[in-house]
Structure 1
């Protein structure tokens, strides 16, 4: 150890200042043991570089706020150099931030810090991609029920808001207008979560029209969005709801939501019918080369581009041109791209699919690149050293 790195062991008072605050139970054991070793042989100042192995959109705020909170609680000074402003594109391997401070106090925080960085940055990237593919469509974040607990739900809502804000700046997109829960609605400038009815309410009511009546009677001043796939009669039930609420339909306060499961086609469609619908409305979408996944989103079962065009044709034919269409079920970046290929007339997308599909891509990594003023990093990670 060089003179610059010689350290004095921590006394009991210094160790107690960084007493267990719940972190040790959730961090990797080797970090806890490293902390004990540092406590015995002496603390030093270090610099961590934090990066990811794939391109992302920077979403560091929740991680930074958490780290500052822990530092204040433990009574040590931490300096955080965030290299990319929130919402900026970050290339693979580029440090998102540098963290400077006491090795003793930082070493056991790495695990929890990385958990708060990687998933949020990848989800922000995916949310941005979806909004850019469909810039004229409003998005509703419906991720909460797919999250592994409330902490992840907050990370994902925050990430969607960051990706959405970037799409608004870069492409004039409408982006995410809200989300499904009250707790995280503030990320979208809302006071409450958005949404009207689940399938369970329709099952309770016994009919799609009756569920709409019950909801409207309970919330008469709200716009009405009605799920129409419960009984497999998407077109029939949509027309019945419009006939029941003609004033809402005319004023644009009525929407029908397609959530048809992937095991069947929307009412009135099959593969041949789906091709025919797109041939009438977006022929270029099916006349070029398409992958199997793209074809599934275009003309397959579930909420396909053909299904949405089929609904739009049916509504317009009956004079309900102001009724909006909401689509949900599997709307991630890839599906949104295909919807754009088919100029799909969708007004709102309900999505939880900006959640990363490949979870290993969310892994953030941290390496110490400086020990007490001396630059040093493991071989192969020299690109992290500050220039």
Structure 2
């Protein structure tokens, strides 16, 4: 948890110099709500000398992310950006409901049309970072911090991977499924084998693992063991074959399936849902591996895990070593709002909104 806590204390340096690969059409207003574009044109014609302060906030306890991206956006597409006064919190800061996270002061026509884009960047990145942070926190409540692999590549459009991966990193996940997810923070993706590899070897998990190990001998050998819906039998097969070379097994049983272990041991049924990856199955897998001396083999679980399920596993001390989580981390559940709250240095805002100074904001140069 130490690295995560350092991020939460704002000790991660700003990354405003990195390449975000913005679409050049932002400058043309292609991604801005039309009423912002019309307001920009009116401001140019009728109120060119007015100076406004726009502030941004949200309504949850959250882990802020997206500020570096927003600052880079402003520097790239605002008119005369060097003469805008920008104050911001940092990616990784913990934020409270209604806390001001960003203010921009300058002529409205120079930056106002970016309001909705800024809201959207902050909303997506902060949602992902907060979701990941909560999952990572849940994965450590037993007293041992379990790594969380961010596996969101199949749950959203591929163009979102770099930003989502960075947000996941800010939230505390330093293992990502694709290279793109790791692009903004300078790492590479990690992964082992999909079900497709085992299918190519006609369901023979040992032969598939042998081919993998021969092709990628420098990789830690982590074998997917649920292809035949008999995780304990197949885990033992690969453990006996590879012994110390086997570093982990991954269980990804479908939520509609009941593993063959429960067919062989019906006496344990009746007090829990035996479908998918469940606690009794993982306990049995751990006990069986240990009984044959494979205590070193770690257990990775994936498939439908979220904060609640991980918390349940951890409270039961289920012997999981690593969690892989995907779709639940990509729920956009935090929305940001940008408001103009000052006009020419004086308070001026719509009813119900007001300027909220925040001593934690830092001036952006």
Cα deviation, residue 209, structure 1: 1.4
Aligned counterparts of 2:315 and 2:99: Cα–Cα separation in 1:
32
Aligned counterparts of 1:20 and 1:189: Cα–Cα separation in 2:
27
Q: State the partner residue of 1:283.
A: none
| Inter-CA distance 139–21: structure 2 relative to 1 (3 Å threshold) | closer
Which of 301, 313, 322 is residue 339 of structure 1 equivalent to?
Answer: 313
Query: 5 Å matches for 1:69-108?
Result: 69-71=76-78, 77-82=83-88, 84-108=89-113
Query: 5 Å matches for 1:141-156?
Result: 141-150=150-159, 152-156=160-164
Cα deviation, residue 264, structure 1: 1.4
Q: Deviations over 1:104-143 (max 9, x none)?
A: 0212101111111012112212211221222321121111
Give the aligned length.
327
Query: 5 Å matches for 1:58-207?
Result: 58-59=64-65, 60-71=67-78, 77-82=83-88, 84-135=89-140, 136-150=145-159, 152-164=160-172, 176-185=173-182, 190=187, 192-206=188-202, 207=204
TM-score of the superposition, structure 1-length normalised?
0.78
Aligned counterparts of 1:41 and 1:365: Cα–Cα separation in 2:
26
Query: 5 Å matches for 1:155-304?
Result: 155-164=163-172, 176-185=173-182, 190=187, 192-206=188-202, 207-249=204-246, 254-269=247-262, 273=268, 299-304=273-278
Q: Provide structure 2 residue ranges, at least 5 long, that are not aligned to the other structure.
A: 1-23, 360-365
State yes or no: 1:375 paired with 2:347.
yes
Q: Deviations over 1:19-71 (max 9, x none)?
A: 97545111111111111111221322211110112221111222222222223
Aligned counterparts of 2:295 and 2:154: Cα–Cα separation in 1:
32
Q: Is the 8 A contact 2:100 2:358 kept in 1?
A: no
Q: Is the 8 A contact 1:76 1:105 kept in 2?
A: no
Q: Is the 8 A contact 2:55 2:103 kept in 1?
A: yes
Cα deviation, residue 255, structure 1: 0.9
Q: Is the 8 A contact 1:95 1:384 kept in 2?
A: yes
Aligned counterparts of 1:148 and 1:123: Cα–Cα separation in 2:
14
Cα deviation, residue 274, structure 1: 5.8
Cα deviation, residue 326, structure 1: 0.6
Q: State the partner residue of 2:13.
A: none
For CA contacts below 8 A with separation 6 or more, give which structure has more relative contact order.
Answer: 2
Q: Is the 8 A contact 1:232 1:266 kept in 2?
A: yes
Q: State the partner residue of 2:40.
A: 35
Aligned counterparts of 1:181 and 1:319: Cα–Cα separation in 2:
33
Cα deviation, residue 187, structure 1: 5.5
Cα deviation, residue 100, structure 1: 1.6
Aligned counterparts of 1:305 and 1:120: Cα–Cα separation in 2:
32
Cα deviation, residue 376, structure 1: 1.1
Aligned counterparts of 1:146 and 1:274: Cα–Cα separation in 2:
33
Cα deviation, residue 306, structure 1: 2.4
TM-score of the superposition, structure 2-length normalised?
0.82
Q: Provide structure 1 residue ranges, at least 5 long, that are not aligned to the other structure.
A: 1-18, 165-175, 277-294
Q: Is the 8 A contact 2:57 2:101 kept in 1?
A: yes
Range 181-190 or range 304-313, more displaced: 181-190
Segments of 4+ in structure 1 off by > 3 A? 19-23, 73-76, 186-189, 383-387
Q: Is the 8 A contact 1:48 1:370 kept in 2?
A: yes
Which of 324, 329, 352 is residue 298 of structure 2 equivalent to?
Answer: 324
Q: Is the 8 A contact 2:262 2:274 kept in 1?
A: no
